Amino acid sequence: MKTSVIIQPDIELGEILKELLVAQSPSFDNVWIVSAFANRKAVRHLAPYLIEAKSRGIKIRIIVGIDLLSTTAEALREISSLEIDAKVFHSNLAWNTFHPKIYLFEAEEKAELFIGSNNLTEGGLFTNYEAATRTTYYFPEDEDEYNSAKDSLQRYLNPTGAIVQPITEELISTLIARGEVPTEEEVRETRKQTQEKSKTKSRDISKSPFGFEKIKRPPKLEKQAEIKKEKAKLPIIQNKTLS
């Protein structure tokens, strides 16, 4: 068993996930993506790789939350369009927030488990300051440790009950009508209003003591038509050690 830490933006978790989805040595049989929040751009970044993985028979499960108005309707529609096992996890108790971020890749030879702060958002996968622990389990020697870890995560990997619903267009429409998921336009407008208020308040306040670092921009997204092609031409990763 090997454990390391992924510090973003120095290392982009999104790039690691892409490589694992198309890896051939080994090719993973099962993939779980569990995220508190999701946006369209993040799903689009991963979509061709998820489609390629699905075409090779890999079983993919995505579980996302909708709390704090941080998952968009467009993200849910992008996930739904992949035609995989996808669910929304949400409790009607106002003080209960679904907040885990788990990425699990499972093969016969080994498993890769990431647990940290990275949401299924463009920032969460590429540009935000994030940290995640990566644990690699090698089989059969680490089988007991892996089974123990996986069993402890079942509540999120395979959620059941009244707090879980499959992602369908009917569900998305209901959530929009109830105001429980915003559109991306609404998110942009809210952010714009917040920034304008901040600028107005800061006119009579001292200059911010903080600066910024130059961070690489997220990878350029493919055209939407290309993403939806079932046979995307993707690189095959063989015998590559990912870090």
| pLDDT band for position 65 (cuts 50, 70, 90) | very high
The 8 Å CB, 24+ separation contacts for 223-231 are 224/44, 226/48, 227/44, 227/47, 227/48, 227/51, 228/47, 228/51, 228/81, 229/48, 229/51, 230/51, 230/55, 231/52, 231/55
The predicted model gives 139-143 an average pLDDT of 98
Stated pTM of the model: 0.89
The predicted model gives 141-160 an average pLDDT of 98
pLDDT score of 243: 36
Amino acid, single-letter form, for residue 228: K
Token code pair at residue 79: 């996930």
pLDDT score of 237: 45
The predicted model gives 123-144 an average pLDDT of 98
**Partners of 137 in the β-ladder:** 111
Angle, helices 73-81/40-55, rounded to nearest 10 degrees: 10
143 touches 35 (CB < 8 A):
no
The predicted model gives 237-241 an average pLDDT of 43
Q: What phi and psi, each to the nearest 5 degrees, are found at residue 214?
A: -80, 120
Q: What domains, with CATH codes, occur in the chain?
A: 2-202+209-227 (3.30.870.10)
pLDDT score of 231: 43
Q: For residue 172, give every residue at least 6 positions away whose Cβ sits within 8 Å of its Cβ, in sequence order, or none.
A: 73, 76, 77, 80, 181
pLDDT score of 205: 74
Q: Map 80-147 to HEC letters.
A: HHCCCEEEEECCCCCCCCCCCEEEEEECCCEEEEEEECCCECHHHHHHCCEEEEEEEEECCCCHHHHH
CA distances from 221 to 26, 41, 95, 186 (A): 27, 8, 36, 22
pLDDT tens digits along 160-215: 999 999 999 999 999 999 999 999 999 999 888 877 777 666 666 778 889 999 99
**70-79, 139-148, 201-210, 231-240: segment of lowest average pLDDT:** 231-240
* Chain centre distance of CA 121: 6
pLDDT tens digits along 74-127: 999 999 999 999 999 999 998 999 999 999 999 999 999 999 999 999 999 999
pLDDT score of 241: 40
Sheet with 101-106, side-by-side order of all strands = 2-8, 130-138, 110-116, 101-106, 30-35, 59-65, 85-89, 164-166
pLDDT score of 207: 82
Helix (H, G, I), strand (E, B) or coil at 238: coil
